[in-house]
Structure 1
Amino acid sequence: MCAPTEDERRLFLALWPSDAERRQLAELAAAVAGRRRVRDANLHLTLVFLGATNAARLAAYEAALTDLAVPSLELILDRYGYWPRPRILWLGSSHTPPELYELVAELHRRLRGCGFTPERRAFQAHITLARKFSGPAPTQPPVAPIRWRVNEVALVESQSSPEGSRYRVLCRWPGG
């Protein structure tokens, strides 16, 4: 992918944890991933990666999502996973609620009307805990699963800096 031009922003739609959930996620990441862990402030669950987005496309996305109905659901994060190729350690759910898959499908449907092309790979709900992780994933599940009450979707901007990516929430769509 080409680097975004000055008038483009690197964006994604995500589930953004509350401070309490973020603390739990950060503690888990510190315990299993050590120094390779993702910055605490960046922990999230990506729903749709939008990529380099100019102002006109951003306005179209926001208009398409204006009346988005975000279902209230609970995610139970209770298992680790590891993708060796990108060397990613992640936390996921042994049972992803069907409503979450439906939400992602609804986001894709709305965004397609704006010219967005979804990724070809299937959605897998996960939170990246560490990058460049030597693996494998811990074989034991987390001692205490994290119960995450989901009730909003966030539009997030990824900003590059010498210290790594920093994420900034631009807006939120609350649940009904």
Structure 2
Amino acid sequence: MTNVSEQVAGRLFIAVGLGEAASMELERWQAEAEQILSFAKWVHPEDYHITVQFLGDTSQKVLDQLIPALKEAVREVEPFSLELSGTGTFGTANAPRVLWAGVRGDIPALENVVASVLKVTEPLGFIPEDRPYRPHITVARKYTGQAGFDIEGTHILQPMEEIAWSVDHLVVYKTHMHQKPMYEKLALIPLA
């Protein structure tokens, strides 16, 4: 019999959500983009987020330690503002693996939150990624078009309105593979 504390709580990550108006604008833009751009998988609008740290499979015991650690990490962090800002891709230019919406605003505050989170998750066994932090909102994955992808050629898409929102909490999400929406909110961690 498996001990409850050893049970896997799930495949988890920590993120910042979007404000309602920003999410609605991104959903509008995505609906238009889906008619023009060929990607294998489009993100469900309820799954829009900016990843702070991917955790992977996490036991219930570690999750029980993680929540108070995160609360402590951000208890003195004031809410800050972010804003939708353009689009881009990761991967090869003509066949990207990710289409994303960019963010701007108080990026130093977001980076401070990331640093605070990494500081409290490392003692729990989570290793920070080896690459620089690049805040973004994934919109689609795996380009499947026959012609090479040309983000500049998407000028027929209306630009995304640059809507701002206030970040006042973190979210711990659990992933449910092959479901839509794919992410379940397990915990909200308020900022100061």
Q: Which residue of structure 1 aligns with residue 82 of structure 2? A: 75
Following the alignment from structure 2 to structure 1, what is the Cα–Cα distance between the partners of residues 135 and 62?
A: 26
Aligned length: 171
Give 1:25 deviation, angstroms: 1.5
2:184 maps to 1:174: no
Structure 1 runs of 4+ with >4 Å offset: 138-141
Q: Does 1:56 align with 2:61?
A: yes
| Alpha-carbon distance in 2 for matches of 1:107, 1:25 | 27
Alpha-carbon distance, 1:92 to partner: 0.8
Which residues of 2 match residues 92-171 of structure 1 at below 5 A? 92-93=102-103, 97-133=107-143, 134=145, 135-138=149-152, 142-161=159-178, 163=179, 166-171=182-187
Say whether the 8 Å CA contact 2:46–2:181 is kept in structure 1.
no
Identify if the C-alpha distance between structure 1 residues 143 and 53 changes in structure 2 by more than 3 Å, giving closer, same or farther. closer
Tell me if structure 1 keeps the 8 A contact 2:176–2:182.
yes
Q: What is residue 3 of structure 2 aligned with on the other side? A: none
Query: 1:46: which partner in 2?
Result: 51
Q: Partners in 1 of 2:64 and 2:52 — Cα distance?
A: 19
Unaligned runs of 5+ in 1: none
Q: Which has the higher helix share?
A: 2
In the other structure, the counterpart of 1:10 is 11
Larger Rg: 2
Task: State which drifts further: 65-74 or 107-116.
Answer: 65-74
Task: Please state which structure has a larger fraction of its residues in strand.
Answer: 2
**In 1, Cα distance between equivalents of 2:123 and 2:116:** 11
Structure 2 letter corresponding to 1:124: R
Shift in Å, 1:6: 6.8
Deviation at 1:165, TM superposition (A): 6.2
- In 2, the alpha carbon distance for the partners of 1:143 and 1:28 equals 6
The offset of 1:143, in angstroms, is 4.5
* Cα distance in 2 between the residues matched to 1:137 and 1:71: 36
Alpha-carbon distance in structure 2 between the residues aligned to 1:164 and 1:100? 27
Cα 1:144/1:115, change in 2 over 3 Å: same
Distance verdict in 2 for CA 1:120–1:66, change over 3 Å: same
C-alpha distance in structure 2 between counterparts of 1:109 and 1:117, whole Å: 10
Whole-Å separation in 2 of the counterparts to 1:107 and 1:52 = 17
Distance 2:9 2:160 in 1: 42
Identity among equivalent positions (%) equals: 29
SS at match of 2:116: helix
Any stretches of 5+ residues in structure 2 without a counterpart? 1-5
Shift in Å, 1:115: 1.8
Partners of 2:105 and 2:162 in 1: how far apart? 12
